[in-house]
Chains A and B, each alone.
Chain A
Amino acid sequence: MKFLVCITQVPDTTTKITFTPDKKAFNAAGVQFIINPYDEIALTRALELKEALGGTVTVINVGSASTEANIRKALAIGADDAIRINAEANDAYYVAFQISEVAKKNGYDVIMTGKESIDFNGGQVPTMLGELMGLPSVSVATKLDINGTTATLEREIDGGKEVVESKLPFVAGAQKGMAEPRIPNMRGIMTARTKPLTVVEPVACDMLSGSAIFDLPAAKGDCKMINPNNVAELVNLLHTEAKAI
């Protein structure tokens, strides 16, 4: 069974986000980049399924050469090989389009992504990939099992969960609960250096959207402290001042 896992790199979750003075870009100076946490969950589940069912796990990334350290980390975690599409990720459509062009040629049985990247939080790559490839997609899946040519997934819905059955091939976006991310071991790190990492050039793609200006959220005013022996005051303020209850 051939698995394709789409990964992207994002600022470490503890990063204090800042933007360049002209507000046109993210200020990456001094920022540590990691594999998007949800992509790591997708990768781990793909590896677990490969161990159970046999096959290969390929990771794919749309990014500049600066992402290669994180691609090597994915190889160290256990992926067999990697593909980097040499382009800056413009928007979800651009990323999904580039990946679909490569994926169409290679005939994967299962394509996985994170449910969203923690930088732009759009959550559209799994859905768009599904549409571009004419495959079913489950965009926020908390469980994934494969039995023969059928997959059973659990997807999040508003106020509950839904069990979905899908034919292979399909696209799934991984949400927490699907797997516990793995930490690479020494052997993995050593072998990752020699695993194949193929670089391909992007194909022409329409630009449908882009980010123009970045801003930081407005700072909150001072916190009003209330005496713990006067909880009634809090209820009163929530009603009269904040009008929240």
Chain B
Amino acid sequence: MSVLIFAENWDGKFKKSTYEAISYATELARQTKESVTAVVIGNVSDEDMKSLGKYGAQKVLSVKNDKLNTLSPSAYASAITQAVQKENAKIVVISYTYSGKSVAGRVAVKLKAGLIAGATALPSSTSPFTIRKKCFSGKGLTDVVVSSDVKIVGLTPNSYKVNTEDGSAAVESFSPTFNDTDFASTSKETKKTSGKIALTEAEIVVSAGRGLKGPENWGMVEQLAELLGAATACSKPVADVGWRPHHEHVGQTGITIGPNLYFAIGISGAIQHLAGVSSSKVIVAINNDKEAPFFKAATYGICGDAFEVVPKLIEEVKKFKSAH
């Protein structure tokens, strides 16, 4: 038996969230004394597939098919399901990215498997199989108990640390069968937000709100983000008035994130916003209102004018970067 992990790739390259999921699966397999098999769908080099051994995968099932170079949720789910059956896997780990979300539910239905949609930790118990996840958009936590034979863990990106060891995975070609209905929807075009770091995967996020007074003032936010290798984000009002695109909106009705470090610049910290960022490990709030609720949720706070503090911060980060 093995723990199966869907090793998602993006344009032929694995993402950090994939390594997190393999590391997670490896720890699970250690507890249940099983091995880890990764399923790779699409065009990834043998070298890259073998390198999954560094994160704990013993075996890679490689599914290559010209129709599968872009995401087709139904076809991907068919392939993963057949891999689960081939390996007789009882636990399936899928990183809960946009792609992962699109396939996890389908695999769950095909296998009649209970799904933890957004796990944030290893199981607290394997019998009954219990895993903690966030609920109410981060305002609460819940222990989900899965009672089915096969269990699927949808692992929230940025919630488990990547572990590396020595090793190389054995790559095996795998040819699942597909139905015509697997291809009823097709990808026509991808539009990449060029050169930017995906918000859900970013280690550091620099976010700003209405306190910046207008979209023309985002230059310093972007500059700070670039210096730190961070993604940029914003609050709901800013996205609503169109200063920033909707896909940058973090909060209860936006994206929920959990980076290592979150900068909140000129964001008051309404309960809906905090819900989306509360799992950040370290929060820095910069606000000119000392009563801003964000100061209650932050690790570090600076009460001051963002237009003075942020440029100083940029200078200090530059100094720090050149010294380290």
Contact = CB atoms under 8 A, between A and B. Distances in A.
A231 B184 contact: no
Interface stretch (A8-16, A52-60, A71-79, A188-196): A8-16
B142 A157 contact: no
A210 B148 CA distance: 11
Contacts of A165: 185-186, 188
Interface in B171-228: 181, 184-193, 196-198, 200-201, 204, 228
B101 A170 contact: no
A124 B117 CA distance: 7
A67 to B, nearest CB: 18
A208 interface: yes
Interface stretch (A43-51, A81-89, A101-109, A236-244): A236-244
**Could you say which of A138, A142, A231 has the most chain B C-beta atoms within 10 Å of its C-beta?**
A231
B98 to A, nearest CB: 5
A223 B285 contact: yes
A228 B302 contact: yes
**Could you say which of A125, A208, A235 has the most chain B C-beta atoms within 10 Å of its C-beta?**
A208
Interface string A144-178: 00000000100111111111111100100000110
Given A119-B136, A127-B101, A166-B184, 14 more contacts: A93-B109, A123-B117, A130-B74, A137-B73, A158-B98, A164-B186, A177-B246, A208-B112, A215-B140, A215-B143, A235-B316, A237-B300, A238-B261, A238-B300
Given A127-B73, A223-B295, A158 B184 contact: no
Nearest to A237: B300
Contacts of A220: 283, 296-299
Interface of B: 10, 15, 17, 70-71, 73-74, 77, 97-99, 101-106, 108-110, 112-118, 130, 134-148, 181, 184-193, 196-198, 200-201, 204, 228, 239, 246-247, 249, 252-254, 256, 260-261, 271-272, 278-279, 281-285, 295-305, 308-309, 312-313, 315-317, 319-320, 324
Given A121-B135, A210-B144, A132 B97 contact: no
A209 interface: yes
A17 interface: yes
Contacts of B279: 217
B1 to A, nearest CB: 20
Contact of B309 (A126, A166, A228): A228
B269 to A, nearest CB: 11
A29 to B, nearest CB: 15
Interface residues of A, number: 82
Contact of A211 (B71, B98, B142, B303): B142
B281 A244 contact: yes
Contacts, number: 293
A160 to B, nearest CB: 4
A101 to B, nearest CB: 13
Nearest to B272: A13
A186 interface: no
Given A131-B77, A214-B135, A176 B246 contact: yes
Given A127-B102, A162-B191, A223 B299 contact: yes
Contact of A242 (B77, B109, B196, B261): B261
A149 to B, nearest CB: 11
Contacts of A125: 105
B102 A13 contact: no
Contact of A235 (B192, B197, B313): B313
B258 to A, nearest CB: 11
A234 interface: yes
A224 interface: yes
A122 B198 contact: no
Contact of A140 (B98, B139, B309): B98
A17 B139 contact: yes
A235 B15 contact: no
9 contacts: A11-B136, A136-B181, A156-B98, A158-B15, A158-B17, A158-B201, A209-B148, A234-B302, A234-B316
A69 to B, nearest CB: 21
A225 B303 contact: yes
A206 B141 contact: no
B153 to A, nearest CB: 11
Contacts of A214: 135, 140-143
B147 A207 contact: yes
Nearest to A118: B137
A220 B304 CA distance: 22
A199 interface: no
A130 B106 contact: yes
**Could you say which of B74, B103, B299, B317 has the most chain A C-beta atoms within 10 Å of its C-beta?**
B299
A53 B300 CA distance: 54
Contacts of B143: 211-215
